[in-house]
Chain A
Amino acid sequence: MRLELIENLLVANRGEIALRVFRTCRDSGIGTVAVYSDADAGSPHVVAADAAVRLPGSAPADTYLRGDLIVKAATEAGADAVHPGYGFLSENAAFARAVLDAGLTWVGPGPEAIETMGSKVESKRRMAEAGVPVLPELDPDRVTEADLPVLVKASAGGGGRGMRIVRSLDGLAEAVEGAGAEAASAFGDPTVFCERYLETGRHIEVQVLADTHGTVWAVGERECSIQRRHQKVVEEAPSPLVDPAMRERLFTAARQAASAIGYVGAGTVEFLATADGEFFFLEMNTRLQVEHPVTECVTGLDLVALQLSVAEGAPLPPEPPQWTGHAIEVRLYAEDPTAGWRPQSGTLHAFAVPGVAAEFAVPARYGLRLDSGVTGGSVVGVHYDPMLAKVIAWGPDRAATARTLASALARARIHGVVTNRDLLVNVLRHPAFLAGETDTAFLGRHGLDTLAAPLAGERAVRLSALAAALAEAAHNRASATVLGGLPAGWRNVPSAPQRKAYAAGGAEYEVRYRHTRSGLRAEGHPEVALVAAHPDRVVLEVAGVRRTFDVGRYPGLVAVDSPLGPVSLTPLPRFTDPDAAVAAGSLLAPMPGTVVRVAVSAGDRVRAGEPLLWLEAMKMEHRIAAPADGVVTDLPVTAGQQVEQGAVLAVVSGSEERE
C-alpha cells in the first residue's frame, strides 16, 4: 500500500476549527496554511499558521465561500491538501471537486457522498432504501391540519438556517418562502422540504469514520438535544438516554447509512429519538462536527489525525477503541439569550478559562479542554458565527463532569462581550439536566427566566460595584500625575463621600465611599471592610468573610469576577457632554450591521410597530419598527449603508407635534 503523505495542509476555515486542525498538523509534522478575510487579519488562526493567504473583503461570500480563491491560495502557498473544517465550504461538493481537480488531496468524503447527503430529500430517500429509519417527507402543498406542526427545512441547510416550524396552515406559505430565501442567501440553494415536527425529541448522533479499504466505524454517539434556534448549545457523550441495546441499533443504522453511500472519512449521522428509544434519520453531516471533542475525550482518538490518515489512504484498525468516562461540551456564544439570542459584537478584552488542561487536544487525564478561536483582545465581528469557544469537560461520570464544566465557566474571565455563559452554567447545574432529561424543548420548558438568570445575584452586583469603584480609585491614585502618594479622596474638612455610578442589567448602582482613618466607609455596606485595593484586584471582608474581586477596567466597561459571579458594569460618566445627547424619538442601531432595506422616507406618517427599515447583522435581518405613531422626521441612512452600534437610524416624532 502506498500512502500519499500530506506535507502541507490548507484549512479553508477560520477561528477555533482552523486552530484545531493546525494543532494536529503540528503534532504530525504537517505544514499549515491559513486563509483569512480582512476582518480576521489579526486573528489567532492566522498567527498560528506557517503561511497565510488573504481573501480580500470580509463578507463570507467574498472570502471563506470563495472556493476559487481558496484553491488558488493552496496552490500559491504550496499546500498539497485542503481541510474544509465545518461550515462554509465543508459540505460543498463543487469545492471538493475543485480541490481534487487542482491535484490536491481533499480531506473529506468524495463529492458524490457530499452531494447525496447535501440534499435532504435525496438523502432521506437513499437512507430509507438502505433500511435506516426516516420520517416521511410531506409536500408543502398537501400539508393538512392533521400534519401540524411541521418543520420546513432547507434541503441544503445546516445549523438551523433556513429552518421554520409551522404550527398553523396560514403561516406555511410565508415560512416556505422565508426559509427558501434564507437558504438561498446562506447556501445558494433555495430548495426546501417539509416533514412532521416532533415537538420534544432528543437529538442523538453517531460519529462514523470510514477508510478507503471498507472499514466503517461507528465510533460513538453524542447527544446534542439542548438547542436554541436549532443550534446546539450543550453536547455530550455518551447520551444519558441511550442504553446498550439502543446503542447497538443506532450504530448499526449509522454504519448502514455510511456504507450505503460509500462514505469515506469522518461524518456524523444525526437522528431524532423519542424518549422510548425510537429514532429517525435526520441527516448526515459529511464533515467534522463542531462537537467532535466530546467523542475525542471519551475515546482518546484524534479525529482530525484520523481524517488526515484516511485521506492519505491509510487503513483504520478493525475496531474503534472503548470509551472512558463522560464528556460534555458547551458552545460559548457571543449572544444575549435574554434579548432573543441576539448576536453580540465588540472587543473581547479578556478571555481566560481557569484550569484548562489541554487546548484542541484530549487532556492526559480527566480535566478541561478548551477549543477557542479567540484570545483577550480579539474583536468579535458581525460577519461570522458568534461562537467564541468550546469548553469541554471530561470526567469519570456525568455529574462530576457537569460540575467541573459549570465551575470553570462560572469562574472564566470573559470581558467585553455579552455571552451565553450564565445560561450554560444554569443548564449544567439544573436538576433536570443532571437527571438526564435533555430533550430539544429543554430551554423552552425550563424558561429563560430561570436558565438565563445572571449567576451574580443582586448582592453580588452591589459588592462588585463597590469593588469596581475601589479598584478605579486605586487606579486613579496610581496614575495621578500629582499628589498620587496621598491618601485617596483625602479631605481635612470632609463634606461628601466619593461617588461613582455604574449601570448593570438596566439598573443603576451608585457607590458612595470614603477612606477614613478607621478604614473604608461605604454607604449601604456597613458590614464591609477593605482589606486591599489595587487597580485590578480588590479584597473585601464582607461580614467577616474575605472575598476577592478581580477587576478588569476597559473603556466603557468594568468587568468584575468573583466566586459570587461575574458582573459587567458600565461606568456612568460624571458629566454628560451635551453634544453627545441624542434627540428624543431616535431609533438607534442595536448592533453594527448593514441597512438592507428602507421602507419609509423622511416625512412619512407611520403607525406604531410599522417597520421602517431592516438591518442585517450576523447573517440575520433585524426589523426596526416605529416605537409609536408619528412622523419620520429624520432618516439619515440609506440601503446598503454600514452602521455602527448606537448610530441613529431614524427619528420618529409624535404626530401631535406636527399637527
Chain B
Amino acid sequence: MSTLKSTLDTTGPEYAAYREAMLAKLDELEAEHAKAVAGGGEKYTARHRERGKLLVRERIELLLDEDAPFLELSPLAGWGSDFRVGASVVTGIGVVSGVECMIIGNDPTVRGGASNPWTTRKIFRAADIALENRLPVINLVESGGADLPTQKEIFIPGGRLFRDLTRLSAAGIPTVALVFGNSTAGGAYVPGMSDYVVMIEERSKVFLGGPPLVKMATGEESDDEALGGAAMHARVSGLADYLARDEPDALRLGRRIVARLNWRKHGPAPAPATEPRYDPEELLGVVPEGLKVPFDPREVLARVVDGSEFDEFKPEYGNSLVTGWARVHGYPVGVLANARGILFSEESQKAAQFIQLANQTDTPLLFLHNTTGYMVGRDYEQGGIIKHGAMMINAVSNSKVPHLSVLIGASYGAGHYGMCGRAYDPRFLFAWPSAKSAVMGPQQLAGVLSIVARAAAESRGQPFDEAADTAMREAVEAQVEAESLPMFLSGRLYDDGVIDPRDTRTVLGLCLSAIHNNPVRGAQFDGTGFGVFRM
C-alpha cells in the first residue's frame, strides 16, 4: 500500500492565484445553475404554485429518501442556445426507497414543460445511463409535448423517448410514471410505455387527442375528464395503476412502488472506505490558470481516492501518463491520468497494457484528462506514434469495464479520444470548470489556419494581407476558446455536467455505486483469447 505524499504548497502565491481563478469560475457556474433552478422564471413559477402544484425540484426532493444525495445530470443542457438553461427537464440519479433511480422530471414552468431539441437529447442521455447502469426510471410527467416551432428537429428522433422506455423494461429495468398534469398526444406514451403508472385525481390528463381535436376528427363532443382524466384511467381504461389524491400522495405511491421492486444490485459491494488524507478543499488550487503549466495529477488523486492510497503501475516508464490502482468510496478503480500533457509512444503503450490489465480483473477505469494530444514531429512519426496511439485508442474502444472520465484540464486532439472522450462512451463524463476541449488549442488552431493561408497566397503569388490575418487569428482564437469551454460543451450534452472539483470524490463515488447496479465485467480473459499484451 502506497500513500501519496502531497507537495502542494498551499501557502504560496501560485496556489492562491489558481484558487482565486477557480473560485471565480465556480461563481459563474453557480450563476448558470441558478438559471436552471429558476426554471421558467418568477412569473411562471408563481402561476404554477398558484395552481397548488409543486415545482419539479420540490417533487424530486419529496421523492428522494431523506438526507440521501442526488446527482443532477446535464444541468446546463441548452446553454448557449435559444432555449432556457436546463432544457425544461431535470434528470439525475437519486435514492428512492433505498434504490438508486434515474429520475426524469419535466419542468412545467418552462413553456409548459414542452420538449425542445435539447430536452430530448438530455432525456436520451438519461435513458442511456439508466440502461447501461441498470437504474430504475421514474418519470415525473407534466409536459405539453413537443415545442412545436422546433418540431422538425425533435419529431423524428423524439420517437426514441418511448422506445427507450420499453427497451428498459425489456432489459429488466422497471419504469415508473408519476403523471402530475398534462401528458397528451405523443406525451401520452410516457405513461403508456411505463411499467407502473400513478395519476392524480383531477390533475392528470392523459389522452391522444383533446376535446377540440376529437371534435375536428370525428365530430364527437367530449371533455377532458372523459377523454383522459385520472379517475377514468384508474377505473375505466386501466392506464393508471394507482390513483393518487394529490401530488405528495403520488410521490408517496411512487416511493412505495420502488420499495416493492425488491431491487438487488448485481455488482460487488464496496469495501469500507476512508477519507483522503488531504483536504479536497485544496483541489481549488491545483490546476494552473490557463493550463500553460503542467501539474501533477497525483495531487488530485491524493484528494480524491480512499486514504490517498495509490499503487502506481510502471512509474518509471512513460511517466507523462500516471497509471495505477486505487479505490473511491470503497470501489476499486484503475486510474489513467495525464502528467505532463503530451502522450508519447511509451505513454500510449503503457495505457494499452494497463487497460488490458483492468479488463482482466474487472476493474473500472478512471481517466483524468489533462492532455494536449499525441506527440508530433519527425522522430515521433518515425517512431510509430500513430501505431502506438492507435493501440491506446483500440484498447479504450474495446475495453469492457466501466469507464469514468473527468476533464480536469486540457483535453485536446486525439488525446481526448485516447483518454476516453465522449465518443468512447464512458459511463459518465464530467468536467471541472478549468477544463478545455477542442481539436487543438485555440492559438495552435489559428496559427495553423494562418500558415495554410500564407502558403496558399504564396503559391498563388498574391500578397498576404497581414492585417486581415491578424484579425482572422484573433477571431478564430476567440471562437475556439469559447467553444472549448466546459459550459459550452456541457450545453451541448458533451459531458454529464460541470462539477466543483471539491465534489469529485462524491460524484465519482455516486457514479461508481450506480454502475455497480450491473455486474462489472471486463473484456473476456477466459482462455479463449489472448493474454495481456506486454507493450
A492 with B75: CB separation less than 8 A: yes
B69 with A491: CB separation less than 8 A: yes
Q: How far is A486 from B509 in the complex, measured between Cα atoms in Å?
A: 8
Q: How far is A357 from B174 in the complex, measured between Cα atoms in Å?
A: 60
A481 with B98: CB separation less than 8 A: yes
CB < 8 Å neighbour of B61 from A472, A495, A576, A578: A495
Q: Is B500 an interface residue (CB 8 A)?
A: yes
Q: Is B70 an interface residue (CB 8 A)?
A: yes
Write 14 A-B pairs (CB below 8 A) sorted by A numbering: A476-B66, A482-B98, A482-B99, A485-B273, A485-B330, A485-B509, A486-B69, A486-B509, A492-B499, A492-B507, A493-B36, A495-B61, A496-B57, A574-B62
Q: Is B510 an interface residue (CB 8 A)?
A: yes
B252 with A577: CB separation less than 8 A: yes
Which stretch in B243-251, B377-385, B437-445 binds the other chain?
B243-251
B58 with A496: CB separation less than 8 A: yes
A477 with B67: CB separation less than 8 A: yes
A492 with B67: CB separation less than 8 A: no
CB < 8 Å neighbour of A489 from B68, B98, B281: B68
B69 with A498: CB separation less than 8 A: no
State how many angstroms separate the Cβ of A268 from the closest Cβ of chain B: 56
Q: Is B71 an interface residue (CB 8 A)?
A: yes
B residues near A499, Cβ cutoff 8 Å: 61
A residues near B36, Cβ cutoff 8 Å: 493
CB < 8 Å neighbour of B500 from A483, A492, A578: A492
CB < 8 Å neighbour of B68 from A476, A493, A517: A476
Given contacts A480-B95, A495-B37, A498-B67, contact A486 B62 (CB under 8 A): no
Q: Is B72 an interface residue (CB 8 A)?
A: yes
A residues near B37, Cβ cutoff 8 Å: 493, 495
B95 with A482: CB separation less than 8 A: yes
A493 with B67: CB separation less than 8 A: no
Question: Binary interface profile of A, 570-582, with partner B (CB < 8 Å = 1, else 0)?
Answer: 0000111110000
Given contacts A477-B67, A485-B273, A500-B66, contact A493 B72 (CB under 8 A): yes
Q: How far is A482 from B509 in the complex, measured between Cα atoms in Å?
A: 11
Chain B interface extent, by class: 35 or more
Number of interface residues of A (CB under 8 A): 28
CB < 8 Å neighbour of B245 from A481, A483, A578: A578
Most chain A Cβ neighbours within 10 Å, of B68, B99, B245: B68
Q: Is A473 an interface residue (CB 8 A)?
A: yes
A575 with B252: CB separation less than 8 A: yes
State how many angstroms separate the Cβ of B90 from the closest Cβ of chain A: 9
Q: Is A490 an interface residue (CB 8 A)?
A: yes
Given contacts A498-B66, A574-B66, contact A483 B513 (CB under 8 A): yes
Q: How far is A578 from B71 in the complex, measured between Cα atoms in Å?
A: 31
Q: How far is A229 from B252 in the complex, measured between Cα atoms in Å?
A: 47
CB < 8 Å neighbour of A473 from B67, B273, B503, B506: B67
A residues near B248, Cβ cutoff 8 Å: 574-576
A residues near B67, Cβ cutoff 8 Å: 472-473, 476-477, 488-489, 498
A residues near B71, Cβ cutoff 8 Å: 492
B33 with A493: CB separation less than 8 A: yes
B residues near A477, Cβ cutoff 8 Å: 67
* Prevailing SS type, chain A contact patch: loop
A residues near B33, Cβ cutoff 8 Å: 493
B residues near A482, Cβ cutoff 8 Å: 95, 98-100, 265, 513
**Given A486-B509, A492-B499, A499-B61: 4 more A-B contacts, CB < 8 Å:** A472-B66, A486-B506, A491-B70, A575-B252
B residues near A483, Cβ cutoff 8 Å: 68-69, 95, 100, 509-510, 513
Q: Is A487 an interface residue (CB 8 A)?
A: yes
Question: Binary interface profile of A, 447-488, with partner B (CB < 8 Å = 1, else 0)?
Answer: 000000000000000000000000011001100111101111
CB < 8 Å neighbour of A487 from B57, B69, B245: B69
Which parts of B213-249 form the interface with A (CB within 8 Å)?
A: 245, 248-249
A residues near B70, Cβ cutoff 8 Å: 490-491
B residues near A578, Cβ cutoff 8 Å: 245, 249
Most chain A Cβ neighbours within 10 Å, of B65, B69, B99, B281: B69
Q: How far is A428 from B386 in the complex, measured between Cα atoms in Å?
A: 89
B residues near A481, Cβ cutoff 8 Å: 98
How many A-B residue pairs have C-beta atoms within 8 angstroms? Tell me: 89
Q: How far is A481 from B95 in the complex, measured between Cα atoms in Å?
A: 10
Q: Considering only CB atoms, which chain B residue lies closest to A496 in the complex? A: B61
Question: Binary interface profile of A, 500-538, with partner B (CB < 8 Å = 1, else 0)?
Answer: 100000000000000001000000000000000000000
B residues with CB within 8 A of A? 33, 36-37, 57-58, 61-62, 65-72, 75, 95, 98-100, 245, 248-249, 251-252, 255, 265, 270, 273, 281, 329-330, 497, 499-500, 502-503, 506-507, 509-510, 513
A residues near B265, Cβ cutoff 8 Å: 482
Q: Considering only CB atoms, which chain A residue lies closest to B499 in the complex? A: A492
Given contacts A476-B67, A500-B66, contact A492 B249 (CB under 8 A): no
A residues near B506, Cβ cutoff 8 Å: 486-487, 490
A residues near B255, Cβ cutoff 8 Å: 575
Question: Binary interface profile of A, 72-115, with partner B (CB < 8 Å = 1, else 0)?
Answer: 00000000000000000000000000000000000000000000
State how many angstroms separate the Cβ of B393 from the closest Cβ of chain A: 30
A residues near B251, Cβ cutoff 8 Å: 575
Given contacts A492-B71, A492-B499, A578-B245, contact A486 B510 (CB under 8 A): yes
B residues near A492, Cβ cutoff 8 Å: 71-72, 75, 497, 499-500, 503, 507
State how many angstroms separate the Cβ of B104 from the closest Cβ of chain A: 15
Task: Give the 7 A-B residue pairs with the shortest CB-CB distance, closest first.
Answer: A575-B252, A490-B69, A495-B57, A476-B67, A473-B67, A493-B72, A486-B69
B residues near A576, Cβ cutoff 8 Å: 248
A residues near B68, Cβ cutoff 8 Å: 476, 480, 483, 489
Q: Considering only CB atoms, which chain A residue lies closest to B58 in the complex? A: A496
Q: Considering only CB atoms, which chain B residue lies closest to A484 in the complex? A: B68
Q: Considering only CB atoms, which chain B residue lies closest to A487 in the complex? A: B506
A486 with B499: CB separation less than 8 A: no
CB < 8 Å neighbour of B502 from A493, A500, A517: A517
Question: Binary interface profile of A, 526-553, with partner B (CB < 8 Å = 1, else 0)?
Answer: 0000000000000000000000000000
Q: How far is A576 from B330 in the complex, measured between Cα atoms in Å?
A: 37
Q: Considering only CB atoms, which chain B residue lies closest to A581 in the complex? A: B245
State how many angstroms separate the Cβ of A474 from the closest Cβ of chain B: 8
B residues near A517, Cβ cutoff 8 Å: 281, 502
Q: Considering only CB atoms, which chain B residue lies closest to A479 in the complex? A: B98
Q: How far is A575 from B270 in the complex, measured between Cα atoms in Å?
A: 32
Given contacts A491-B70, A493-B72, contact A480 B58 (CB under 8 A): no
Q: Considering only CB atoms, which chain B residue lies closest to A517 in the complex? A: B502
Q: How far is A495 from B69 in the complex, measured between Cα atoms in Å?
A: 13
State how many angstroms separate the Cβ of A538 from the closest Cβ of chain B: 14
A residues near B329, Cβ cutoff 8 Å: 485-486
Q: Considering only CB atoms, which chain B residue lies closest to A476 in the complex? A: B67
A residues near B62, Cβ cutoff 8 Å: 574
B57 with A476: CB separation less than 8 A: no
A residues near B503, Cβ cutoff 8 Å: 490, 492
Q: Considering only CB atoms, which chain A residue lies closest to B507 in the complex? A: A492
B residues near A496, Cβ cutoff 8 Å: 57-58, 61
State how many angstroms separate the Cβ of B484 from the closest Cβ of chain A: 22
Q: How far is A483 from B505 in the complex, measured between Cα atoms in Å?
A: 12
B residues near A493, Cβ cutoff 8 Å: 33, 36-37, 72, 75
State how many angstroms separate the Cβ of A418 from the closest Cβ of chain B: 27
A480 with B65: CB separation less than 8 A: yes
Q: How far is A476 from B67 in the complex, measured between Cα atoms in Å?
A: 7
Q: How far is A107 from B436 in the complex, measured between Cα atoms in Å?
A: 93
Q: Considering only CB atoms, which chain B residue lies closest to A575 in the complex? A: B252
A480 with B507: CB separation less than 8 A: no
Q: How far is A481 from B510 in the complex, measured between Cα atoms in Å?
A: 13
Q: Considering only CB atoms, which chain A residue lies closest to B64 in the complex? A: A489
State how many angstroms separate the Cβ of B482 from the closest Cβ of chain A: 23
Q: How far is A578 from B507 in the complex, measured between Cα atoms in Å?
A: 37
Question: Binary interface profile of A, 280-316, with partner B (CB < 8 Å = 1, else 0)?
Answer: 0000000000000000000000000000000000000
Q: Considering only CB atoms, which chain A residue lies closest to B246 in the complex? A: A578
Which parts of A549-590 form the interface with B (CB within 8 Å)?
A: 574-578
